[in-house]
């Protein structure tokens, strides 16, 4: 995943029960920022999960390195369906509960064997390494460190086979990470490991490109930028994989053409009003200036990124009900802002991710803070529960931008996106059946931000229109009487036998679902974590089993 540095990704240590906790904590001590994930029903750990398979797949999809303290078979079966995409592969290891064995399973290019060695050392055991190259050389030659790119994986595999078959190698160029590798080296070897930004075939050699070239695009307005950069690289005999970043002036920060080019070239896009590359030579062609340094360039040291602000919905609570785009946004975020409770639901986080939890009522302040961080070039995510556009942060963020449009030009350059989520009404409806199967409305019963008289008028109109109604924010300690008043109004228009669905903590631990009727409903069955769905005249139910019923509203009308 672009932008996620796997070297710093937070390790998830997953346990099924109390018996594994000691070993888990010993492993945790060698990975700063790692968290122990425990099966909610059996053990208390740093992060709770409900079902092992789903949880492992979820972590895997986020690119989180996984150390699972259970049998290798269980882990393999759990992640089997995710294994097709080899590029997205985080390291996954199985460790025996009692700490007597560590088995690297997948994630060779993500450093799984290195982790196996580290864990083995901490537990005082031998790792079960099965990769021949790794066994012989003590490291994976095909997984150069950050700042370097292997030119060709298939070709690399052949090179490793040649070494395993007894050939020696020499090293051309600077490969400091190989200093301590147990490679068979010989100055006159036929094979070479070549570290160079130059393109081109290398015979049987292993070619590794240092990412030491930066392309400056002074004018983004003409031509196909990707092609111009590729051409410039080719003209100077530089490999596309040696490219560390595209750089452009701040004024072009919102250019889509630049963003597309950076995406196509698979490099970060940075903005700066001058190109400074220490000790580099500069070459120009096609209006593209290439700066070539003699060492890998860390793109984060050049100018800054275009800031990003993504407003996401976490869904009602469980990870399965969070949309993948929201998970991806969280994985890439530098800063995560939101109400404490929701921010906690959005974890686990990597070291380096900054979490800003605030009080629920400070929405405008949080929105402005988000823009301030994003306009510094940071990648910011604002979290809401459910859908961010339903009584939540998306409208506050847009209101902040609208208000500051003329005063804060830097906010306009921020790449703003809203990612939808499963709203509480939809999640509750799905649990109950399909009460929203026909026309419905969503109302917040909170009179914090609107006068109560408006709420009463809307309730009357909705009731008269025979709409199914979904009530958000039905009660709170500060608003004790409002729900009863609302129900009195609805009862003026609807029969006592009207179906009512109460969903509490849907998708969260301790979730409950009650189906009742308008006459039986008591306001003490409802709290601020409850969604109230009041049926229309056509909403009906039938038994599902001995204890519950399906509730639905037919799609047609008489
Ligand atoms: N943006 C959120 C709603 C925020 S308003 C969404 O789209 O769901 C907060 C209200 O939503 C709560 O008072 C409650 O009525 C409802 N709610 C939020 N999460 C819920 C859940 N998991 N189960 C039941 N109701 C929930």
How far is the centre of ligand 1, averaged over its atoms, from the C-alpha of 489 (Å)? 22
pLDDT tens digits, one per residue of 377-429 = 999 999 999 999 999 999 999 999 999 988 988 898 899 999 999 999 999 99
Tell me which of 424, 436, 442, 532 to substitute to probe ligand 1's pocket, judged by most ligand atoms within 8 Å of the beta carbon. 424
Beta carbons within 8 Å of 235's beta carbon, 6+ residues apart = 285
Closest Cα to atom 2, ligand 1: which residue?
A: 386
Q: Are 93 and 64 in contact (CB under 8 A)?
A: no
pLDDT in tens, 230-277: 999 999 999 999 999 999 998 898 899 999 999 999 999 999 988 776
For ligand 1, mutation pick of 385, 426, 530 (most atoms within 8 Å of CB): 385
Q: Report how far residue 299's alpha carbon sits from residue 247's, in angstroms, rounded to the nearest whole number.
A: 9
Distance 472 CA to ligand 1 centre (A): 6
Task: Report the distance separating Cα 118 and Cα 67, nearest Å.
Answer: 12
Distance CA 78, CA 165 (A): 36
CA distance 454 to 452: 5
Q: What is the pLDDT along the chain (558 residues), one digit of tens a residue?
A: 333 333 446 899 999 999 999 999 999 989 877 889 999 999 988 888 999 999 999 899 888 999 999 999 999 999 998 887 665 689 999 999 999 999 999 988 778 988 999 999 999 999 999 888 888 887 788 888 889 999 988 889 899 999 999 999 999 999 998 988 888 999 999 999 999 999 877 688 999 999 999 999 999 888 899 999 999 999 999 999 999 999 999 889 889 999 999 999 999 999 998 877 666 678 888 889 999 999 999 998 999 889 999 999 999 998 889 998 998 899 889 999 999 888 888 877 877 889 998 877 789 999 999 999 999 999 999 999 999 999 999 999 999 999 998 898 889 889 999 999 999 999 999 999 999 999 999 999 999 889 999 999 999 999 999 999 999 999 998 999 999 999 999 999 999 999 999 999 999 999 999 999 999 999 999 999 999 999 999 999 999 999 999 999 999 987
Q: Could you tell me the distance, in angstroms and rounded to a whole number, from the CA of residue 401 to the centre of ligand 1? A: 25
Within 6 Å (CB) of ligand 1, which residues are found? 316-317, 384-387, 390-392, 423-424, 428, 472-474, 503-508, 528-531
Cα(431) to centroid(ligand 1), Å: 14
Q: Which DSSP symbol is given to 15?
A: E
CA distances from residue 82 to 39, 70, 115 in whole angstroms, order as listed: 21, 19, 21
| Cβ neighbours around 534 below 10 Å, total | 28
Look at ligand 1, atom 20, and give the residue with the nearest C-alpha: 424
Q: What is the pLDDT of residue 2?
A: 32
Pocket test for ligand 1, best of 477, 527, 531 (most atoms within 8 A of CB): 531
The atom of ligand 1 lying closest to the CA of 424 is 8
Rounded distance from Cα 385 to ligand 1 centre (Å)? 7
pLDDT tens per residue across span 326-385: 988 998 899 999 998 888 888 778 778 899 988 777 899 999 999 999 999 999 999 999
**Closest protein CA for atom 26 of ligand 1:** 424
Q: What is the pLDDT of residue 9?
A: 63
Domains, the chain: 12-130 (3.40.50.11220), 148-208 (no CATH), 211-301 (3.30.420), 308-422 (3.40.1010.10), 425-552 (3.30.950.10)
Number of H helices, E strands in the chain: 16, 28
- Output the CA 386–ligand 1 centroid distance in Å: 6
Q: Which atom of ligand 1 is nearest to the CA of 472?
A: 15
Per DSSP, the three-state class of 116 is helix
Please tell me the pTM assigned to this model: 0.70
125 CA to middle of ligand 1, Å?
49
- Give distance in angstroms: CA of 322 to centre of ligand 1: 14
Coil, strand or helix at 95: strand
Atom of ligand 1 nearest to the CA of 422: 7
CB atoms within 10 A of CB 140: 20
Look at residue 1 in the predicted model and tell me its pLDDT: 31
Q: Separation of 474 CA from ligand 1 center, angstroms?
A: 10
Instruction: Round to whole Å and give the CA distance between 415 and 402.
Output: 15
Cα 316 to ligand 1 centre (Å): 7
Q: What is the spatial distance between Cα 342 and Cα 311, in angstroms, rounded to a whole number? A: 13
Answer yes or no: are the C-beta atoms of 113 and 130 closer than 8 Å.
Answer: no
Q: Looking at ligand 1, which atom is closest to the CA of residue 532?
A: 15
CA distances from 338 to 325, 359, 449, 527 (A): 18, 8, 19, 22
* Per-position DSSP letters for 43-70, written without gaps between them: ---SEEES-HHHHHHHHHHTT--EEE-S
Give the distance (Å) from ligand 1 centre to CA of residue 424: 5
């Amino acid at each position: 995943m672009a932008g996620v540095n796997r070297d710093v990704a937070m390790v998830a240590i997953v346990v099924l029960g109390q018996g594994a906790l000691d070993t888990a904590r010993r492993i945790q001590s060698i990975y700063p920022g790692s968290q122990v994930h425990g099966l909610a029903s059996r053990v208390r750990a740093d992060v709770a999960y409900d079902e092992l398979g789903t949880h492992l797949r979820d972590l895997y999809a986020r690119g989180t390195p996984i150390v699972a303290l259970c049998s290798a078979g269980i882990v393999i079966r759990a992640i089997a369906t995710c294994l097709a995409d080899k590029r997205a592969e985080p390291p996954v290891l199985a460790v025996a509960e009692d700490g007597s064995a560590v088995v690297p399973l997948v994630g060779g290019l993500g450093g799984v064997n290195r982790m196996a060695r580290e864990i083995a050392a901490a537990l005082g055991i031998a790792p079960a390494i099965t990769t021949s190259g790794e066994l012989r050389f003590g490291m994976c030659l095909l997984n150069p460190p950050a700042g370097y790119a292997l030119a060709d994986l298939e070709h690399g595999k052949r090179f490793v086979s040649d070494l395993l078959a007894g050939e020696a190698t020499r090293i051309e160029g600077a490969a400091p990470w190989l200093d301590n590798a147990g490679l068979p080296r010989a100055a006159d070897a036929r094979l070479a490991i070549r570290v160079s930004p130059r393109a081109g075939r290398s015979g049987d050699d292993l070619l590794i490109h240092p990412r030491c070239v930066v392309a400056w695009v002074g004018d983004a307005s003409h031509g196909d930028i990707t092609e111009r950069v590729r051409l410039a690289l080719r003209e100077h005999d530089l490999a596309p994989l040696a490219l560390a970043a595209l750089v452009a002036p701040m004024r072009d920060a919102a250019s889509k053409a630049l963003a597309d080019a950076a995406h196509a070239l698979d490099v970060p896009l940075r903005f700066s009003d001058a190109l400074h590359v220490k000790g580099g030579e500069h070459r120009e062609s096609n209006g593209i200036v290439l700066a070539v340094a003699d060492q890998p360039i860390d793109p984060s040291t050049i100018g800054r990124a275009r800031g990003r602000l993504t407003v996401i919905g976490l869904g009602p609570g469980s990870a399965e009900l969070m949309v993948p785009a929201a998970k991806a946004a969280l994985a890439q975020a530098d800063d995560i802002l939101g109400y404490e409770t929701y921010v906690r639901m959005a974890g686990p986080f990597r070291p380096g991710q900054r979490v800003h939890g605030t009080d629920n009522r400070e929405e405008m302040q949080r929105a402005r803070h988000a823009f301030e961080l994003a306009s510094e070039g940071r990648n910011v995510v604002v979290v809401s529960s459910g859908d961010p556009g339903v009584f939540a942060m998306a409208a506050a963020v847009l209101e902040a931008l609208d208000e500051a449009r003329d005063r804060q030009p830097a906010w306009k350059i921020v790449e703003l996106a809203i990612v939808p989520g499963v709203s509480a009404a939809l999640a509750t409806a799905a649990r109950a059946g399909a009460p929203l199967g026909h026309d419905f409305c969503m109302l917040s019963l909170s009179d914090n931000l609107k006068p109560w008289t408006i709420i009463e008028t809307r309730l009357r109109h909705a009731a008269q229109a025979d709409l199914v109604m979904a009530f958000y924010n039905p009660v709170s300690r500060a608003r004790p009487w409002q729900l009863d008043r609302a129900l009195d109004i609805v009862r003026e228009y609807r029969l006592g036998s009207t179906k009512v669905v109460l969903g509490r903590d849907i998708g969260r631990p301790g979730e409950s679902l009650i189906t009742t009727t308008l006459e039986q409903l008591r306001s003490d069955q409802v709290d601020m974590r409850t969604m109230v769905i009041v049926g229309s005249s056509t909403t009906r139910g039938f038994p599902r089993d001995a204890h519950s019923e399906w509730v639905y509203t037919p799609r047609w009308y008489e």
